């Protein structure tokens, strides 16, 4: 389903959410495993607010790029974007998880992190 908010992501992550292997990581089939990790919801909000930079691996493929920060978006729009990528392309919230709210985004905005700190947060998720 088309989303005007996701239009600003799809140049990199692609309309299919598949990304570009080795260049832009996939969101399809991947966001649910982040959501399922302890701290995963907070991490996803932080990626949107503060960006992400440094080496990561997704399903065995490495990425070392720059994810831009989208702090200029309203809390409700960041929540809307995260709800979009959590429910498109066959993605689903893990059992028991509710959609993101603007209040959750506001709580992460109060932290003021760098993209490098967001990478540290990712490293603590224990993603495979
Ligand atoms: C990483 C979402 C826009 C490039 C990520 C991750 C998410 C995400 C959730 C983390 C994946 C993980 O930790 O495994 C989004 C959304 C966007 C957006 C919702 C729109 C608001 C973009 C754009 C670009 C981009 C426009 C390219 C200019 C990247 C890269 C990474 C990444 C390169 C990995 C960073 C690294 O290698 O450290 N994105 N993204 N993203 N995104 Fe985006």
- Per the domain annotation, does 116 fall within a domain? yes
- Per the domain annotation, does 1 fall within a domain? no
> Which residues' Cβ are closer than 6 Å to ligand 1?
8-9, 11-13, 24-25, 27, 44, 47-48, 52-54, 56, 58, 63-68, 70, 81, 85, 122
Contact 57, 126 (CB under 8 A): no
- Specify the pTM: 0.97
In tens, the pLDDT along 35-65 reads 999 999 999 999 999 999 999 999 999 999 9
Residues 6+ apart with CB under 8 A from 107: none
Q: How many domains does the chain have?
A: 1
Global ipTM: 0.99
CATH number of the domain enclosing 101: 1.10.760.10
Residue 2 pLDDT > 90:
no
């Amino acid at each position: 389903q088309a989303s005007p908010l996701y239009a600003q992501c799809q140049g990199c992550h692609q309309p299919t959410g598949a990304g570009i292997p080795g260049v832009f990581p996939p969101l399809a089939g991947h966001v649910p495993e982040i959501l399922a990790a302890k701290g995963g919801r907070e991490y996803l909000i932080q990626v949107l607010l503060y960006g992400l930079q440094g080496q990561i691996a997704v399903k065995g493929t490495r990425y070392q790029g720059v994810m831009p920060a989208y702090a200029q978006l309203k809390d409700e729009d960041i929540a809307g974007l995260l709800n979009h990528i959590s429910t498109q392309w066959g993605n689903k919230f893990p059992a028991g998880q509710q959609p993101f709210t603007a209040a959750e985004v506001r709580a992460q905005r109060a932290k003021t992190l760098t993209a490098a700190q967001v990478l540290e947060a990712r490293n603590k998720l224990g993603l495979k």
